Amino acid sequence: MSNEKDWETFKQRLFTKSSINLNDYKPTQMQRRITNLMTRHGATTYLAFFDMMERNSQLYKEFIDFLTINVTEFFRTPEKFDELEKKVIPDLLIKNKKLSIWSAGCSIGAEPYSIAMILNELTPGVKHRILATDLDTEILGKAKKGVYTMNELKNMPTPRLSKYFKQVDGTFQLNEDIKSRIEFGRHNLLLDKFESGFDLILCRNVVIYFTEEAKDALYRRFFASLKSGGVLFVGGTEAILNFRDIGFQSYMPFFYRKP
């Protein structure tokens, strides 16, 4: 199997091709996961696998999806967060002063904390409920700590960065007030019970490995968990084709509303 030199070259070539820096990931975990994927595709060295990806763009895409399983950013897809801030949340606030929001598949917390910042600015002093859940308990531990790298904060305008974070030894620590606004919990979207009464559910970049059947069942359960007038916000590659069958109305691209 591959050696350390191979691994270094693989990381360099991947960085040149994708700007993904594998040095930002835990090497043992990452090597184990990549080796599993390589074996599935019949490659015996990292470099042979890289050559396969150069020839096969589908395999390259699969590899990127595979890597990004926990990857997240504050205000991910900034233009969608802009719509959320300027249109979706203000519309929801017309009906309800206090919102109930669920970030499903929250990873390290960047998504629910982005929502908390928006609400803090739109409705200072109001206590909304923000539930944030993930399958991965390790990642939830990181979410609760609220310590981030610059890369995770790259979409954050400087005024927000200085308003909400303290820089300590090259990391960015989120302030306690924003941290206290999120209720984190472990929850498996494919197994566990769903709460109801949400005004807004975010489920973004979570379902890439789910089958079509599992996705359909999931979106139906989200529909049932929303209040009338509530909105489901999905990822930028996750448009729901049969949203009408489920009962949703189209609202804006990647936002679906329960009538």
Nearer to ligand SAM, 43 or 231 (CB): 231
As measured in angstroms, the least distance from the Cβ of 72 to ligand SAM is: 3
Q: Are 246 and 239 within 8 A, CB to CB? A: no
Gyration radius from the chain CA atoms: 20
Distance CA 205, CA 247 (A): 22
Closest distance between ligand SAM and the C-beta of residue 46, in Å? 23
Examine residue 188 and tell whether it contacts ligand SAM (CB under 6 A): yes
CA distance 103 to 107: 9
In the window 48-107, what residues touch ligand SAM (CB under 6 A)?
68-72, 76, 105-107
**Site residue total, ligand SAM (CB under 6 A):** 22
Q: How many CA atoms lie within 13 A of 185 on its CB side?
A: 11
Whichever of 101 and 206 has its CB closer to ligand SAM, that residue is 206
**With CB under 6 A as the contact rule, which of the stretches 6-14, 113-121, 199-207, 250-258 interacts with ligand SAM?**
199-207
45/70 with CB nearer ligand SAM: 70
CA distance 50 to 59: 10
Residue placing its CB nearer to ligand SAM in the complex, 137 or 228: 137
Q: Contacting ligand SAM (CB under 6 A), which of 111, 115, 131, 256?
A: 111
Read out DSSP for 142-209?
A: HHHHTEE-GGGGTTS-HHHHHHHEEEETTEEEEPHHHHTTEEEEE--TTTSPPP--EEEEEE-S-GGG
CB 141, min distance to ligand SAM, A: 12
* Footprint of ligand SAM (CB under 6 A): 68-72, 76, 105-107, 111, 134-136, 139, 187-190, 204-206, 235
